[in-house]
């Protein structure tokens, strides 16, 4: 699979852009475990143009991350064009446009998935951004606004005609947010449409190596993107790549090995921010990780972890966690 001139190999697996999750340290961690392409947190075009320092920080990418994409969102043509050009100067490999974020503060203002209610503007923005930069432009979106407006098959053709280099589809509508199950049948319908010539990347509910392989084999997508399935579990890319290559599950590591990965994430987060903010930032990963499933009466320990205020306190709690029993 190629995005523009960027060769990603056969059946690439990518790390999805996620706000407050996919900072530089986490991207490098996912890359270390085999992610074929990584994405920044999404960048507000308005905030970028205003020079908001926290937003500008999101543009910093390292050569070790490559290929890496910067994702932007906004609701008007001019700000998106200006933001795209600023992003291009940061030298990402790909510029991705977010037409899929469902949260109220984004979609409710007409950006992200809110664009699914204004397709003419979505297409106008896409055409203008493609013309404004020299790097490949891709789009990430959803099936439609709600169950009565699942427009993705027609919309995919329209976006392709705007000149994008690839399309990522999350298999839910905006109305679904992150509830229910992702519908991959419509992603497959886009891929099987003979008019589509650009790569189609599927996203939604990829939480295991087996589900990832099913996405490729059953729906024919060119690539798969993993979002929430990698939070607190960056090693999922290692598991997926091994399964795709061999057809066999990767033998599990020791509990201590996985715990050490989480500790590395904590230390990287603290180094990037400071002890207090770094621990606050990493709590989402600690809360989401499946590592502690199967440990009886774990709730008090989970609460203690999420309340810890220093690295020493947090690591002492983690070191006292018994390995879960396996049957």
Alpha-carbon distance values, 233 to 26, 111, 208, 288 (Å) = 10, 29, 11, 8
As a whole number of angstroms, the distance between CA 190 and CA 175 comes to: 20
Name the one residue in this structure whose structure tokens are 């203690």.
Answer: 304
In the three-class reduction of DSSP (H, G, I as helix; E, B as strand; rest coil), residue 143 is classed as coil
Can you say how many angstroms the Cα of residue 253 is from the centroid of all Cα atoms in its chain?
25
Under DSSP, the state recorded for 162 is: T
Whole-angstrom distance, CA of residue 119 vs CA of residue 325: 51
Catalytic residue chosen out of the listed positions 101, 162, 212, 230: 101
Tokens 């950006």 belong to 111
212 is catalytic: no
How far the first Cα of the chain sits from its last, in Å, is: 40
Closest CA to 3 of 157, 196, 198: 198
Q: Cite the active site residues.
A: 101
């Amino acid at each position: 699979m190629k995005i523009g001139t960027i060769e990603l190999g056969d059946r690439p697996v990518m790390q999805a852009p996620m706000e407050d999750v996919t900072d530089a340290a986490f991207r490098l961690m996912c890359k270390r475990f085999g992610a074929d392409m990584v994405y920044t947190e999404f960048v507000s075009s308005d905030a970028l143009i205003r020079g908001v320092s926290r937003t500008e920080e999101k543009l910093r990418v390292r050569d070790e991350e490559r290929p890496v994409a910067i994702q932007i969102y906004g609701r008007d043509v001019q700000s998106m064009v200006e933001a795209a050009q600023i992003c291009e100067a940061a030298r990402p490999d790909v510029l991705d446009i977010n037409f899929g974020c469902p949260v109220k503060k984004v979609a409710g203002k007409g950006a992200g998935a809110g664009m699914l209610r204004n397709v003419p503007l979505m297409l106008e923005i896409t055409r203008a951004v493609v013309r404004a930069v020299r790097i490949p432009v891709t789009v990430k979106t959803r099936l439609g606004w709600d169950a009565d407006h699942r427009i993705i098959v027609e919309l995919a053709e329209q976006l392709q005609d705007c000149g994008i280099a690839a399309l990522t589809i999350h298999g839910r509508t905006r109305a679904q947010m992150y509830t229910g199950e992702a519908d991959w049948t419509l992603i497959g319908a886009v891929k099987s449409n003979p008019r589509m010539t650009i790569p189609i990347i599927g996203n939604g509910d990829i939480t295991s190596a087996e589900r990832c392989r099913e996405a490729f084999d059953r729906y024919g997508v060119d690539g798969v993107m993993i979002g929430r399935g990698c939070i607190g579990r960056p090693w999922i890319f290692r598991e997926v790549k091994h399964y795709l290559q061999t057809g066999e599950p990767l033998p599990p590591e020791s509990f201590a090995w996985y715990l050490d990965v989480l500790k590395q994430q904590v230390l990287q987060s603290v180094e990037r921010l400071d002890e207090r903010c770094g621990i606050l930032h990493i709590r989402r990963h600690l809360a989401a990780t499946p590592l502690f499933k199967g440990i009886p009466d774990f709730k008090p320990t989970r609460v203690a972890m999420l309340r810890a205020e220093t690295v020493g306190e947090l690591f002492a709690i983690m070191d006292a966690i018994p390995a879960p029993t396996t049957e």
